Structure 1
């Protein structure tokens, strides 16, 4: 299974959609709440090149982006191969 990390906020609808898409694919992930975990927001900003919106999704240390980016990966057929690595 690939290592998937989602930086999120508990109330974020886009975060929820991203998690649902990954769950539908059978993927497991680690969720990091940037509002609750000390230093998580700084880590997210550093890893994402300064992107402040959530979710920020990483698969095997590759920055995917937010939900729209994840959805685009899925629609283009690029997500499933990443999830099988």
Structure 2
């Protein structure tokens, strides 16, 4: 399963909803970055995504977007294949 990174805050209902959906789809470990607790993380998130709102979700190297984007991806059947995609392996010398 791909690594999942999610930028969140402690009071965001959309963050909770996104984490719940990911858990329902088999994600047991999240790399959760709390932008309300770690100085400078919201700025880093904004530079990477171009967005200031949370959650911002990455599956592997793919920026999925926010909660609505995650739900839409799941509704069209794209979430599980993305979660279960094989991670690229480094080329052998």
Please indicate the TM-score interval, normalised by the length of the shorter structure.
over 0.9
Q: Is the counterpart of residue 71 in structure 1 residue 84 in structure 2?
A: no
Equivalent-residue separation in structure 2 for 1:51 and 1:35 (angstroms): 15
Q: How does 1:32-51 map to 2 (within 5 A)?
A: 32-48=33-49, 50-51=50-51
Match of 2:88 in 1: none
- Give the corresponding residue for 1:54: 54
Deviations 1:19-78 (A, max 9, x none): 000001111211100010122111110111x21110000111211110000000000001
Structure 1 stretches of 4+ moved >3 Å: none
Deviation of the 1:3 alpha carbon: 1.2
If the length of structure 2 is used for normalisation, what is the TM-score? 0.86
**Matched position secondary structure for 1:54:** coil
Which residues of structure 1 form unaligned runs of 5+?
A: none
TM-score (norm 1): 0.94
Paired residues, what number?
Answer: 84
The structure number with the bigger radius of gyration is 2
CA distance in 2, matches of 1:52, 1:20: 21
Consecutive unaligned residues in structure 2, runs of 5 or more:
86-93
